[in-house]
Structure 1
Amino acid sequence: MNVGELVYRRVFRAPRELVWRCLTEPAELARFWGPSGMATPIDGIVVELHPGGRFETLMLGEYGSHRMVATFTEIVPPERLAWVESATGMHTTSTLEDLGDGRTAVVIHQRNVPETMRTPESRTGFLTSLDKLEEHLAHLIQGDRS
């Protein structure tokens, strides 16, 4: 891994198709997108799910807001999703691997990561967004069983 690159890996107890849906549908993204303490209202999310399409999120929190504006570069349902952010040039690729037994490994590879997003605090914040996704997936799975 080079300077300016980050890789996160998390195994979720959810089928790959459900994880994909959560990563690509605005109604699902609004439930977990962003670090702990931030909310992402559905009306602040744009997902044009095709290469060259827009991907935008507006995260709101106690200390301000952050808008992410990106362009999708690769869409391979339900296994790979990639985009590049226009403001920073950061390129994010998420790979979803079906592990069987209803589990999915998600590997998020970020390149050209701005220095401010490489701090321990920023990395910890990013991990809380994965925690929020894990909680949301668990809620959806439980809902399917009732």
Structure 2
Amino acid sequence: MWRCLTEPAELARFWGPRGITTPLDGIVVELRPGGRFETLMVGDHGSYRMVATFTEVVPPERLAWVEPASGMHTTSTLDDLGDGTTAVVIHQRHVPEAMRTPEARAGFATSLDKLEEHLQARRPT
């Protein structure tokens, strides 16, 4: 799970809501506190660049960043359940109003669906 959330080649396979792609060359991961985290999401209605700064990097259990433009803080906590699965808890603070609409929340949920599909595809058969 850690690799999926921190390696550009993995992020490019699922990052962003359904209907959006995130090209590998549009991803920057400087995996250290103070390092950049950027993704370029591209869809039919244009593109959106997420620009953030890592505030916490604790492999393989905690990853946090802040988006300076909005002030939104995102923290992902990964808990190895010991059975080959990982519980992921994502906590966000200072979420802009536009990202709290039912449509935006539904889009975020589809990005989690894409992550689950990616993880399933990576599993050995």
Is TM > 0.5 for Structure 1 vs Structure 2?
Answer: yes
Q: Secondary structure at the match of 1:52?
A: coil
How many angstroms does 1:62 deviate by?
0.5
Note the residue ranges of structure 2 that are not aligned, 5 or more in a row: none
CA distance in 2, matches of 1:86, 1:26: 21
How many angstroms does 1:85 deviate by?
0.4
CA distance in 1, matches of 2:42, 2:62: 27
Post-superposition Cα deviations, 1:80-119, rounded to whole Å, max 9, x if no partner, equal: 0000001101000000011121111100000000000001
In the other structure, the counterpart of 2:67 is 85
In the other structure, the counterpart of 1:6 is none
How many angstroms does 1:137 deviate by?
0.6
AA in 2 matched with 1:140: R
1:119 partnered with 2:93? no
Taking only aligned residues, the RMSD between alpha carbons, in angstroms, comes to 0.7
Normalised to the residue count of structure 1, the TM-score between the two structures is 0.84
Report runs of 4+ in structure 1 exceeding 4 Å deviation: none
1:96 partnered with 2:96? no
CA distance in 2, matches of 1:58, 1:86: 16
1:59 partnered with 2:41? yes
CA distance in 2, matches of 1:87, 1:39: 22
In the other structure, the counterpart of 2:20 is 38
Q: Secondary structure at the match of 1:39?
A: coil
Normalised to the residue count of structure 2, the TM-score between the two structures is 0.98
Larger RCO (alpha carbons 8 Å, 6+ apart): 1
1:26 partnered with 2:8? yes
